[in-house]
Structure 1
Amino acid sequence: MAPENPGPADPARSLALLWRTSGPSGRRGRQGIDVEDIVRAAVDLADTEGLAALSMRRVAHQLGVGTMSLYTYVPGKDELVEAMVDAVYGELDLTAPAPGGWRRHLEAVARRNWELYQRHGWLAQVATGRAVLGPHAIAKYDHELRALDGIGLTDVEMDAVLTLVLGHVRTAARAAWEAARTEHRSGMSDEQWWAAHAPHLTRVLDPDRFPVAARVGAAAGTAHRAPHDPAHDFEFGLLRVLDGIEALVRTRTVDPGATTPR
C-alpha cells in the first residue's frame, strides 16, 4: 500500500489538482470516480468522524474502490485536505460587500466563516501554516479584501487585518470544536460539567486568598452556566478586534473631518 503522502509535494501537480487543469482530475476513470467524488467523500467522512479519521484507505472504502486507484487523481492525503478546504470555501456567499462600509463587511466575513466552521468542524483542525491556493480560496481572499481597499491601509496592512479577523474566528471555532469533542467523549455538556463541579469548587476555593478569581469566576460561571462559552468569546472578541482595526483606520482616513472611516 502506498504511503499517505509519498515524498515532498509536487507544486505543479498540487495546483493542477486544485484548479483541475490537467491529468485525470477532470474525468471519470475506469472505476467510475473522479476528483469531485473523492473530495466529496472525504468531506463527508471528516464532517462525520473528524479529520483524524481521514485516510486515503477510508475514502476509498467510502467510494467502494481500491485505495491505489485514488492516487491516480490525488497525490496524497495532504493534497486531499487542501482540495477539501478549497471545496468547502466554495460554499461561502461571495456577493458584493455588505453595505455600511468596511466594518460591516468584515463583520459579515467573520460571521460567514464562523458558520462555515460550524458546518465543518474539521476545518479548525487543518494546519494553517501555508495558504491553500485553489480557485475558491483565491476568490474568498479577493472578496474578503475588497472593503479594505481604498481606506488608507497599505496592501500588507490589508492582508494583516484580514488575517487578524480570520485568526480570531478560527481560534473561537477551534474552542467550540474542542468543547463539542469533550462533550462527546465524556457524555457530559459543559453546563452539566459546571453544575457538577461548581458546588465542590465553592467549598474548597478561599475567596480571601483568591479574591479576584473567586469573584470573576463566579460571575462568568453564572453568566455562561459553564467555565466559558465559545460563542460568547467569538462575539466579544470580534467586536474588540473590529474596534482595534477602526482605531487604525481612523489614523489613515484621508478626510480628517469625516465622522466615519471610509
Structure 2
Amino acid sequence: MSFDRSSAGDPARSLELLWRAPAAPRRGPRQRLDVDRVVAVAVALADAEGLDAVTMRRVAQQLGVVPMTLYTYVPGKAELLDLMLDTAYLRMPRTDTAGRPWRARLSAVAEENRALFEAHPWAAAISTGRPPLGPGMMAKYEHELSALDGLGLDDVEMDAALTFLLTFVQANARSAAEARAARRDSAMDEEQWWAANAPLLERVLDPRAYPTAARVGTAAGSAHGAAYSPAHAWEFGLGRVLDGLAVLVEGRGDAARNGTP
C-alpha cells in the first residue's frame, strides 16, 4: 500500500531544513530563491490541486526554474513534505484557553486541527506516525499538551489522550474530504444522488431481508438528508471522544480527592 508519510526522507537533512540550520556558504551568483519561497509555492499548489500535484518538476515550473535548481534548496519531495506540514503547523491559530474547563480546552484543540485540515485538506491524508520534528510541530505539541496539563494524568497518558483526540479529528477530516470529492465528481449533492438511485434500490432491496439496516438507514437518511453527514459525525464523534476521556480525567480527580494512587 502506497501513502504519503512525514519523515520519509533523509532525517538529518530534514531537521536542518526544518530548523533552517545555516548552510555552508556557496560561491557563485547570489541565489534568487530560498527554502521559504519553495515551501510556500508547494503549499499553494497542494491547496489548489491536491498532494499528487506536488512534484519537484511542477514546483520548479511554478517558480520559473529548472527542476535541478530546486534540488539546491530541497533534496526531494519527502523533505519538502515535512517542510510543508511543519509550515502549516507553525501558522495555525492557537486559542488561549487558560482557566477554562478541560472539555472546552480539548474542544478548542480539536477545532483548531479541524480548521487546519479544512484550509489544507492534503494535510489530513499524510501519516504522521513519525512527525516532522520542526518548530511548527513542537509549538503545536506544546500548545495542545497545555490543554491536558494539571488534570492528574501522567506524561504517557497526556500524550495518549492527545493522540486519541487528534486521530479522531484527522479521520473525520478525511471522511469529510471524501464526501466533498464525491459531490464534486458526481456533480450531484447527496439529495440528488439518492433521488437518482432510490428507484433502483427499491427494486433490488427487500427490506424484510435486512429489517434493522432498512429501518436505521431510513431514519439516518431522513435525519441528515444523506447517508453520511460530516457535520453530524463531527458533533457526535467529538462528544463521544470527550466522554471517553472523561472516564480517565474524572477518575484521576476522584482518586486525588480520595487520597488513592
Instruction: Tell which deviates more after alignment, 12-21 or 199-208.
Output: 199-208
Contact 1:34 1:73 in 2 (8 A): yes
Contact 2:86 2:137 in 1 (8 A): yes
Offset of 1:75 from its aligned partner? 1.4
Contact 2:92 2:112 in 1 (8 A): yes
Contact 2:153 2:249 in 1 (8 A): yes
Offset of 1:172 from its aligned partner? 0.6
Offset of 1:10 from its aligned partner? 2.9
Q: Which runs of 5+ in 2 are unaligned?
A: 1-7
Which residue is 2:200 aligned to? Answer: 200
Aligned mates of 2:110, 2:199 — CA distance in 1: 37
Offset of 1:130 from its aligned partner? 1.1
Which residue is 1:143 aligned to? Answer: 143
Contact 1:46 1:122 in 2 (8 A): yes
Relative contact order, higher structure (CA 8 A, sep 6+):
2
Aligned mates of 1:49, 1:161 — CA distance in 2: 33
Offset of 1:184 from its aligned partner? 2.3
Count the aligned residue pairs.
247
Which residue is 2:173 aligned to? Answer: 173
Contact 1:145 1:158 in 2 (8 A): yes
SS at match of 1:23: coil
Offset of 1:31 from its aligned partner? 4.9
Distance 1:24 1:44, change over 3 A: farther
- Partner AA of 1:136 in structure 2: G
- Partner AA of 1:256 in structure 2: R
Instruction: Tell which deviates more after alignment, 243-252 or 183-192.
Output: 183-192
Offset of 1:181 from its aligned partner? 1.9
Distance 1:191 1:98, change over 3 A: farther
The 5-angstrom pairing of residues 59-138 of structure 1 reads 59-97=59-97, 99-138=99-138
Contact 1:42 1:84 in 2 (8 A): yes
Matched residues, percent identical? 55
TM-score (norm 1): 0.88
Contact 1:39 1:83 in 2 (8 A): yes
The 5-angstrom pairing of residues 1-262 of structure 1 reads 9-23=9-23, 30-97=30-97, 99-253=99-253, 255-256=256-257
The root-mean-square deviation of aligned C-alpha atoms, in Å, is 1.9
